């Protein structure tokens, strides 16, 4: 698939839009069902996607969702696109979706068919601020989030570069940087409309930011402006790809993780990696804030190219 368009979208205003599939991910977080209870557009099929070995949540019966294992998505997308004569429209709420589940979803969407036009709309509801837990374990392992986003498809002797997206988790980004010992490193710092997050991000990544400050390789991005953020990523990825093999390590807001997956699709040599271990998103029960952002993408059939 080619990425044709990627623009901001007000996920609170659907108008008369209809969707073939509405995809959500419910867990113990109150925020996980917030958007599903407010969204009033017509969706032919509503799906709660899960990873069967991890599923322990409940689906509110009045919302009309069916539970589907993430491994079934490719078949569902192919089935629906055939019925729609090669077109597929998907609405997805990634607010509480795990990173591995998000990678499986995006892989399934890209793999569904070589002859499908996909219109994808994404909602991301930002959580109210809460303090990160103090008992986060060390990074257990660092690896590509999915085989389709592992990068380095054009193996050569280029050194590794790293683009780190910072979260407010202590020690996570620092540990990833030490693991890679990259030839070049850029840091993306989230500026959320929930103002309490940024001071904690800066505090818990102080040493990392201090080392990158003098090089001018620290980029502040707006969580609620994914279109601009994607452009910032594109500039850095294009620059680094000329002389290195870039790895994207997006901690922090999940909207950045989704944008990194799209970047990897546009630049197959670019990998999206993650760490295993406890994370704030795994252990906190977050409540939705008053802020959200949305993304409207269009993908056409063909090889992955972005221009």
**Residue 114 has what pLDDT?**
62
Q: Are 166 and 173 in contact (CB under 8 A)?
A: yes
Q: What is the pTM of this model?
A: 0.91
pLDDT at 1 over 90: no
Residue 108: which of 74, 82, 76, 75 has the closest Cα?
74
Grade residue 10 by pLDDT with cuts at 50, 70 and 90: very high
Across 37-66, average pLDDT:
77
Q: How far apart are CA 20 and CA 53, in angstroms?
A: 27
Grade residue 227 by pLDDT with cuts at 50, 70 and 90: very high
Of the options 2.60.40, 3.30.70, 3.90.79, 3.40.50, the CATH number for the domain spanning 141-283: 3.40.50
**Residue 304 has what pLDDT?**
46
Percent of the chain with pLDDT over 70: 86
Q: How far apart are CA 182 and CA 173, in angstroms?
A: 13
Across 275-279, average pLDDT:
63
**Residue 215 has what pLDDT?**
77
Domain boundaries, the chain: 2-128+289-300, 141-283
**Residue 22 has what pLDDT?**
96
Minimum mean pLDDT range among 26-35, 42-51, 212-221, 271-280:
271-280
pLDDT at 191 over 80: yes
Q: What is the pLDDT of residues 86-136, one digit of tens each?
A: 889 999 999 999 999 999 999 999 887 567 889 999 999 999 998 876 666
Name every residue whose Cβ is closer than 8 Å to that of residue 142 and which is 6 or more positions away in sequence: 176, 179, 180, 273, 274, 275
Average pLDDT in the chain: 87
Sole residue written with tokens 């193996």: 155
Q: What is the pLDDT of residues 133-169, one digit of tens each?
A: 666 655 567 889 999 999 875 556 789 999 999 999 8
Higher pLDDT, 41 or 263: 263
Q: How far apart are CA 95 and CA 218, in angstroms?
A: 25
């Amino acid at each position: 698939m080619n990425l044709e368009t990627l623009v901001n979208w007000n996920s609170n205003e659907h108008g008369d839009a209809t969707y073939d599939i509405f995809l959500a991910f419910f867990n113990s977080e109150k925020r996980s069902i917030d958007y599903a209870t407010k969204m009033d557009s017509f969706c032919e099929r509503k799906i709660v996607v899960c990873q069967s070995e991890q599923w322990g949540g409940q689906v509110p019966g009045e919302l009309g969702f069916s539970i589907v294992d993430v491994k079934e998505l490719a078949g569902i997308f192919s089935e629906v696109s055939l019925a729609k004569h090669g077109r597929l429209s998907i609405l997805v709420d990634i607010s509480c979706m795990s990173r591995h589940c998000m990678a499986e979803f995006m892989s399934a969407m890209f793999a569904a068919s070589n002859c499908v036009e996909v219109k994808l709309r994404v909602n991301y509801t930002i959580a109210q601020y809460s303090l990160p837990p103090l008992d986060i374990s060390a990074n257990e392992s660092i690896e590509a989030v999915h085989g389709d986003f592992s990068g380095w498809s054009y193996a050569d002797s280029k050194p590794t570069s790293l683009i780190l997206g910072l979260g407010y988790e202590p020690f996570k980004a620092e540990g990833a940087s030490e693991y890679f010992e990259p030839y070049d490193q850029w840091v993306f710092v989230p500026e959320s409309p929930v103002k309490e997050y940024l001071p904690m991000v800066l505090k818990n990544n102080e040493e990392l930011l201090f080392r990158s400050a003098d090089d001018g390789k620290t980029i502040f991005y707006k969580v609620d402006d994914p279109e601009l953020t994607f452009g910032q990523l594109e500039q850095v990825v294009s620059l680094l790809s000329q002389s290195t093999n870039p790895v994207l390590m997006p901690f922090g807001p999940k909207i950045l993780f989704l944008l990194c997956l799209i970047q990897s699709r546009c630049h197959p040599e670019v990998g999206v990696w993650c760490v295993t271990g406890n994370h704030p998103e795994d252990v906190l029960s977050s409540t939705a804030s008053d802020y959200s952002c949305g993304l409207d993408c269009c993908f056409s059939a063909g090889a992955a190219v972005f221009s």
